[in-house]
Each structure stands twice: as C-alpha cells, then as structure tokens.
Chain A
C-alpha cells in the first residue's frame, strides 16, 4: 500500500488545480513549490556538511541572466534559462574548485561562499544601468499575455503544473543522489577527507559534482521565480539573507530527509502569510522574529528538523513491527 501512496498523492496534486480554482491559494502553492525546489537544491549538497551560504548568488544569477537575455538579447527563456543554468554552474565551478582543491572546509567554506553571494548582490546593484539596481527588474511582457515562446503565462493553473513538475524533478534528483555511490563517497568525505581519499574516493571531483548540480538546480529555481513573479530585485533573489533563508528552512524541515526542505518551505511561507494577513502592516518584522527564535530552538533542541525527528520517532516502532511480522 505504501508503495502506491506516493503515486496517489502525486496524482492528487496534479488534479488539484482542475477542481480547485481559488487563485490566491494556487498562488501560494506555486510559491511554496518554487521555494521548495530551491531549498531541495540546497539540501542536495548541504546534507553532506557542505554548508554553502552562496546559493543566494546562484539563484540571483538564474533570475537575472534569464531576464536580461529576454529584455536585452531578445532571447526566449527557452534559450535564456539554459544559458543561466550554465552560468550558475560555471560560477560554482570557478569558486568551488579552488575551495576544494585547497581544502577550504567547514566555516571557511561557508564564509567564502558568503562572499560569493555578496559579490552577486553588489554586481547586480552596481550595474544598475542594465539591471535596475536595487529598484528591481521586470521582464518585458510579450504581447501582453500568455505565450509559450516567452514562457509567460497568466493562468495560475499552468504555473502550478510547471512548478509541480520541477519540484518533482528536484525530489527525483534528491532520491537518485540518495541511492547513488556518490552519496557514500560524500558521506565518507564529510566524516574524514583523508580517510576517504585513502580509500580511493576522488575527494575534489565528488564534491565538485554535487556542488555544480546543486548550483544549477538553484539557478533554475531563480529563473522560474523570475518568470512566475515577473519582478525580481537583488534582495528577493540574491544576497546573504536569501542564502540564510534557504539554510533556515532546510534546517527546520530536516536536512537529511527528502521532504524536509518542502516542509520547511510550507512552514516558513505559511507563517509569513498568516502573520501578514492577520496583522497587516503591523506584522512587518514579526515573521522573521519568529523564524529567528525557531531557528535557534531547532538547532539547539531538534537538529534533525521536523520531518527528520518524526521519522526517527516512527522508526523504532516500524522495526518492531517488522520483527513481529517475520
């Protein structure tokens, strides 16, 4: 039965927009799915102790390259997004290769990547003649409506299905990494780099592969966010606060489980929305206040996150049942 549970849930999610049309709720779902995908992308590498604070940078690259290619280069997002993904991957290679080659790990790695997201934010702000700087940037509407060529859709249903598909692909990638040899290599590396190298693991290559994968996925999340919202600003898609937000949501949901980042996204986005609706402008700041306290409490008391802790609590019972069944 549990084997089919995932498929049933998936079918339910696909069918949802055809029976339920409330645009605001669909909008929330699209936003949750896009951010879930971004958080999943982060956790693909974050779960191996590679804590990057540079993912805000990759997301910014994804969003801005796509939008600039459309507005200035006249390139459809069908070409612009692949370019943005390549740009994100190349940037990840440029920064990560020397990092791993010279064994910059732990908080040094976190701080180097922090500099990376700082650079992307400052470059976007500094090139304000092209990117609009901190005022933000809007991709030009293509003949004022929906168009497959421009990847602009006015209907929420279309966006919901796109975001759902991409999110599912993100989970699939997470699952494939989880089942691969690479996972064992990376877990060995996170325990002891020298030991892993002595056992025949190519430390630099393995870490690079997962970093580039994670960066490309994050860039895709940025591009999607840009196409859906049709407005991007340096503070909403790049920079240190976005990087920290990713880490936060993943830690709350659970780093080591596939649905952890998704649960993290649901909790953080719903919390912000509920506060915004019930308190209006008086709620400014309260959502982050709650986030901050939660983040500290989670790291001190529940480092596995919500989903991870629930699974850990459920597991002993399951194993007892399995023993009883045999």
Chain B
C-alpha cells in the first residue's frame, strides 16, 4: 500500500510515544478529580515548576539526574499538598465552578511567579539524548524513555490503588463520598495523600517532558488544555477511559501534524473532542448505569 509509507509509520509510532506521556499527565489530574471532585486547572503549571526544578537542580547545580528527578517528584508532590491545603480545602463546600475558578487564579499566580522568578527565557537541560534510527525512521530516545517511564508510573499507581489499604480507601472515596465518611475513613487524610500523589505524578511528567521540550513560564498553556480534554473525553475520574483517550488524542495530533501543520493536529483533536462530547457525554469508556 502506497499510503502506508515510512513517514506514516513514524508518525504513528511517535503518536503512541506521545500518548504514553499524555496518559501519564491525565492520570494525575484524573486521580485528583475522581477522589476530591475538583479540577486542577493549574495542573500544567505544577508541571512547569517541576520542569524548572529539573533545570536548576541538574543543569545549574549539577545534581545527579536521578536524584534531581526524585527531588522534583517530591517537590511537586509537596506543591500539590500545599495547593490542597491553601486553596481547595477552604472551598470544598463551595460551588464546583468556584473551585475551578480558584485553581484558575492559581494558574495565573504560578505562571507569573515563574515569570518573575525565572524570567521569560527559554531554558533547556542541555542534555541531548541520541536518536534511534530504525528502518529509515527517526525515533528519539527521550520519547521512548518518557513512554517507558510513563507506563511504569501508571502501573505503580495502579498497584498502589488496587493492592494497598490506603489505595482501597482512595477508590472507595471516589465511588461514594458520603458513605465512606460514615464507614470511618478519614477523608482529610485521603485527600492529602491524593493531592500528594497527583502532584507527584505531575512531577514525574515534568522530569520526562523536560527531556524533550524547553521550559518557559507559559509552557503549561501548550499542554494543559489538552490534558483536561483527555480527562473529560475519557470521563472525568475514569482512569481506563483517560488512558485510551490519551492515545486517540496523540495519534490525531501526530497524524494531523504529518499531513498538515502541527496546529491542525490540535484543531482536529479539539474538534474530535467536541463531537465526542455530544456523542458520548459520559466519556469514551462510560459504563451505562
């Protein structure tokens, strides 16, 4: 088949690799939404801070890269807890839209805090990973690494949720907020753990993204919206749906970018999102209840 050329295959593979990272991005957001019932609009800005953390620890202070990554994951996890304690906790009883807007305020705050602290220059790690050449295709190691790390991260979270006592409590809260309190689950503690976990996943995503992209204060805007759309498309709080949606989106972007410009890839993904919202408002993988 003439259409199935090497470029198409390369775009498809890159789509899958991008999908892994997007799935990791949406996992943290989904977790927070599923358990606390709050959308962190500023999620991508947490990732941006993680990327700056990697840049400063690794490139400026010359920490070993794995130590720097661990510090970043812990740091962004702490940011997640801080966000919950300072902004979300006082608003838990308020209208959902107020919580959304308050995290929108945090988005402004984090973006401009980064502008003030780090200035608007583009920075990168200065670390060039080799490019894998395979049957005439070019696949970057950083993408492969990101994909693999994303998969491992997701499996770990899955194991945590399904095999530990705390994980079971988190899943139970996600299913029924009112009853679990009566059953003696300490929601405040669960919310803090979830926020830390959500932040930690953002930190992991940051470590992987900084390998491929330059970091600047507005970098969050380039992948923040797409992360929300993936979560909504998969059904907010539905981990499996988010996983599938991430790959669908990544392929749309990758193929759109192959045939037209990258922006058209985003346009296709957004249009697909809106159409799917009308066809399946409960999300791609919704079970009819």
**Given A244-B108, A251-B101, A296-B106, A289 and B113 contact (CB-CB distance below 8 Å):** yes
A116 at the interface (CB under 8 A from B): yes
**In residues 80-138 of chain A, which contact B (Cβ within 8 Å)?**
95, 98-99, 101-104, 106-108, 110-112, 114-116, 118-119, 122-123, 125-126
Q: A107-B97, A285-B112 are in contact. Are A248 and B104 (CB under 8 A)?
A: yes
Question: Can you name the residue of chain B whose Cβ is closest to the Cβ of A119?
Answer: B270
- Sample of 5 more A-B contacts, CB < 8 Å, known A102-B278, A295-B101, A299-B91: A49-B97, A284-B115, A291-B108, A293-B105, A299-B102
The CA of A289 and the CA of B221, in the complex, are separated in Å by 16
In the complex, A101 Cα to B281 Cα: how many Å?
11
A105 to B108, CA, bound (A): 25
Hey, which chain B residues are within 8 Å of A102, CB to CB? 277-278, 281
Known: A111-B232, A295-B102. A125 touches B263 (CB 8 A): yes
CB proximity to B under 8 Å, residues A243-264: 244, 247-248, 251
A286 touching B102 by the CB < 8 A rule? Answer: no
B137: chain A residues within 8 A (beta carbon): none
Partner pick for B270 among A49, A122, A241, A293, CB 8 A cutoff: A122
Query: Does B27 belong to the interface (CB within 8 Å)?
Result: no
Chain B residues packing against A (C-beta within 8 Å): 39, 87, 90-91, 94-98, 100-102, 104-116, 120, 217, 221, 225, 228-229, 232, 236, 260-261, 263-264, 266-267, 270-271, 273-274, 277-278, 281
Rounded to whole Å, the gap between the CB of B252 and the closest CB of chain A is: 13
In the bound complex, residues from chain B placing their C-beta under 8 Å from that of A215 are none
Which of B91, B100, B281 is in CB contact (< 8 Å) with A107? B100
B107 in contact with A244 (CB, 8 Å):
yes
C-alpha spacing A123/B97, complex, angstroms = 28
Partner of A111, one of B107, B217, B228: B228
How long is the Cα–Cα vector from A111 to B91 in the complex, in angstroms? 20
In the complex, A240 has a CB within 8 A of chain B: yes
| A112: chain B residues within 8 A (beta carbon) | 232, 273-274, 277
Instruction: Give the residue name and chain of the A residue nearest to B86 (CB).
Output: A296
A294 within 8 A of B: yes
Known: A111-B228, A118-B270, A300-B91. A291 touches B97 (CB 8 A): no
Which chain B residues border A122 with CB–CB below 8 Å?
Answer: 263-264, 266-267, 270
A247 to B108, CA, bound (A): 12
The residue on B at minimum CB distance from A110 is: B100
With A111-B229, A288-B112 given, is the CB distance from A296 to B97 under 8 Å?
A: no
Q: How far is the CA of A101 from the CA of B87 in the complex (A)?
A: 34
**Interface range on chain A: under 10, 10 to 19, 20 to 34, or 35 or more?**
35 or more
A50–B95 Cα distance when bound, in Å, is 13
> Which 9 pairs of residues, A with B, have the shortest CB-CB distance?
A292-B109, A295-B105, A285-B115, A292-B108, A126-B263, A288-B112, A289-B112, A98-B278, A285-B112
Q: How far is the CA of A95 from the CA of B271 in the complex (A)?
A: 10
Closest to A134 in B: B263
Contact between A300 and B217 (Cβ–Cβ < 8 Å)?
no
Interface of A is mostly: helix
Please, how many angstroms separate the alpha-carbon atoms of A295 and B104 in the complex?
A: 8
Q: Quick one: which of B120, B264, B267 contacts A284, CB cutoff 8 A?
A: B120
Task: Contact check, A51 vs B267: say whether CB atoms are below 8 A apart.
Answer: no
- In A261-316, the 8 Å CB interface with B consists of 284-289, 291-296, 299-300, 303
Residues of A close to B112: CB separation below 8 A: 285-289, 291-292
Q: Once bound together, how far apart are the Cα atoms of A164 and B277, in whole Å?
A: 40
Interchain CB contact under 8 A, B109 and A289? yes
Q: Which residues of A contact B104 (CB under 8 A)?
A: 244, 247-248, 295
Q: Judge whether A292 and B263 touch: CB under 8 Å.
A: no
For B236, the chain A residues whose CB sits under 8 A away are 107-108
Answer whether A119 and B97 are a contact pair too, CB < 8 Å, given A244-B104, A248-B105, A284-B115: no
Given A106-B96, A126-B264, also A248-B39 (CB < 8 A): no
- Contact partners of B110 in chain A: CB under 8 A: 292
List, in ascending order, chain B residues with CB within 8 A of A289's CB: 108-109, 112-113, 115-116
* Contact assessment for A286 and B105 in the assembled complex, using a CB-CB cutoff below 8 Å: no
Q: Check B277–A295 contact: CB distance below 8 A.
A: no
Instruction: Point out the residue from B116, B232, B263, B281 that lies within 8 Å of A285, measured CB to CB.
Output: B116
CA of A288 to CA of B110, assembled, Å: 9
A103-B281, A122-B267 known; A248 vs B108 contact (CB < 8 Å): yes
- Cβ contact within 8 Å between A108 and B277: yes
